[in-house]
Chains A and B, each alone.
Chain A
Amino acid sequence: KNEVEQSPQNLTAQEGEFITINCSYSVGISALHWLQQHPGGGIVSLFMLSSGKKKHGRLIATINIQEKHSSLHITASHPRDSAVYICAVSRNTGNQFYFGTGTSLTVIP
């Protein structure tokens, strides 16, 4: 079983819709990261969370440490938001990220 599970795997939305991507993890973490990857592109860090909630523009990320769960929300989605969104955790020990398999988002105009 993967240490990090994401859902859904694929998501198609109409422009303007509110989008939620979920991430659950099964290990102790020091931080959780949401990353964005455009097709054929590099990986960009969107958020790093260890508690609570963060907001950047139309993106909101929340984390519930007790439930080992995080959500990434996109408000007023736009076609340019189409990308793969990846949840990753860094553990209290060790030197590596553990990644979810990603959620492929397509926003249709």
Chain B
Amino acid sequence: NAGVMQNPRHLVRRRGQEARLRCSPMKGHSHVYWYRQLPEEGLKFMVYLQKENIIDESGMPKERFSAEFPKEGPSILRIQQVVRGDSAAYFCASSPLNRLNTEAFFGQGTRLTVV
């Protein structure tokens, strides 16, 4: 049973390009969470999704950022027109339930560098 899989592990984009980050949850998990870790800062919640639904996007920047979790395939975090301030590590976590009082399962993260 593979863990939470994120790809790519490293992504370099020029300012103004689009970044697409993928997350495949653990088998049997239908809840996905995205977190951002800015340099020298702690992890911050971005968005919580279930299959085909965004449940809580209170941590998402209002512009340029979007997330989806389609019926088939991985969850995608999309950043349009990237800027240097988007450079960070983006982590995905998954859970089988809609409460986080179960063990946390995180992916390896995608490290985005905007040049």
Question: Which residue numbers of A lie inside 8 Å of B, CB to CB?
Answer: 2, 30-31, 33, 35, 40-45, 48, 50, 86, 88, 90, 94-102
B residues contacting the other copy or chain, number (CB 8 A): 26
Contact between A95 and B98 (Cβ–Cβ < 8 Å)? yes
CB distance from B64 to the nearest CB of A (A): 21
CB distance from A75 to the nearest CB of B (A): 23
Interface residues of B in 50-108 (CB under 8 A from A): 55-56, 59, 91, 93, 98-108
Residues of A within 8 A of B55 (CB): 95
How far is A48 from B99 in the complex, measured between Cα atoms in Å? 13
CB distance from A24 to the nearest CB of B (A): 14
The residue of chain B having its C-beta at the shortest distance from the C-beta of A94 within the complex is: B56
Given A30-B99, A95-B100, A96-B56, A35 and B45 contact (CB-CB distance below 8 Å): no
Contact between A30 and B43 (Cβ–Cβ < 8 Å)? no
How far is A100 from B44 in the complex, measured between Cα atoms in Å? 10
Contact between B106 and A42 (Cβ–Cβ < 8 Å)? yes
Q: List 15 A-B contacts (CB under 8 A).
A: A30-B101, A33-B103, A33-B104, A35-B104, A40-B111, A41-B109, A42-B109, A43-B106, A43-B109, A90-B101, A95-B100, A97-B33, A97-B35, A99-B44, A101-B41
